[in-house]
Amino acid sequence: MRNQVNSAFLYDEKWIFRIIMNDKTNLIISCMDYRIQDAIDDAIDGNDEKFVIMRNAGANVKELRNSIVGMIKQGGVKRIKLMPHSDCAAMKIVYSALKENKHYDAVIYESLVEQFNGKNFNSLKELEIINRAMQYDNIKNLLDENNVGKSIEVESIFVNTEKLRYYQRNGSFVLSFPVSAKYSDLFNKIGKIRGSYFLHSLDIDDLAADMIIANKLVGLKKLFLLYANEEEKETLNEHIESMKKGNILVSDIAVEMLQKGL
């Protein structure tokens, strides 16, 4: 069952999260991976238009559909930019589930894996190509269902696995509502989140599978809750307590609240 705060937040227009949007706003959808922050910033550089970023495991549009519709209903979106990447851990989960019969939590299967049933692939690279096309189609179908015509762009991010030391993973992940600041600016303000995985969604309930992946599969032991105001802070904290009780997160995970201040 959805948290009542978030349901009202999405569907009754009692908005906790607010960004001033207009018909020149770009919505960026990408993966939570800690190695792609610079690439997302590069996509923003030189563009004077507004932007909002949402991220989860695998740039999974199926899971973000409520947030995408909510964002469009909140204000104008000029285009949606999909940014999946190579060497994606989410696609490795899908591959191992469907090709190696590895068992995962039902939430992960329902949110991520099952949409790839029946797809023909024999390598991770082939699966990543399928994912890119599938998520594009998911966006297009979602826009068509809501009678909204928007431009869709796809930019794949290449992760150089031979330079992993460059990325400096810090063993933490960040949860927040969608962000409208460049990551370089966030890191200058809050240095401790550099090297973190990032999860951003308008509907926090939709990130349950991603929280399990980050905390229990990737093994990230520190969670930062990034908030802009007291309402966001309270809502995020409520969701985390609920996720602990529901065994989505381990009960002893270290949690720290951080204010964006941007």
Indicate the number of domains in the chain. Answer: 1
Token readout for 261 is: 């201040």
- Residue 36 CA to residue 42 CA, distance in Å, equals 10
If one counts every other C-beta atom within 10 angstroms of the C-beta of residue 260, the result is 18
| Residue 67 pLDDT grade (very low, low, confident, very high; cuts 50, 70, 90) | confident
pTM score over 0.85? yes
> What pLDDT does residue 45 have?
82
Highest mean pLDDT pick, 46-55, 154-163, 198-207: 198-207
If one counts every other C-beta atom within 10 angstroms of the C-beta of residue 123, the result is 10
**CATH code of 189's domain:** 3.40.1050
Over residues 162-189, the mean pLDDT reads 86
Query: Please, what is the average pLDDT of the chain?
Result: 87
Q: Helix 61-74 to helix 124-145 angle, to the nearest 10 degrees?
A: 30
> What pLDDT does residue 93 have?
98
Q: What is the pLDDT of residues 1-42, one digit of tens each?
A: 333 333 333 333 444 455 545 556 789 999 999 999 999 999
- Residue 238 CA to residue 112 CA, distance in Å, equals 24
Over residues 56-75, the mean pLDDT reads 87
Share of the chain above pLDDT 90, in %: 66
Share of the chain above pLDDT 70, in %: 86
Could you tell me if 81 and 29 are in contact, meaning their C-beta atoms sit under 8 angstroms apart? yes
Which residue range is the domain that position 72 belongs to?
4-259
| Residue 145 pLDDT grade (very low, low, confident, very high; cuts 50, 70, 90) | confident
Strands (E), the chain: 26-31, 51-56, 79-83, 151-154, 172-176, 197-200, 222-227, 254-259
If one counts every other C-beta atom within 10 angstroms of the C-beta of residue 145, the result is 10
Token readout for 157 is: 């991010």
**Least confident segment among 46-55, 69-78, 231-240:** 69-78
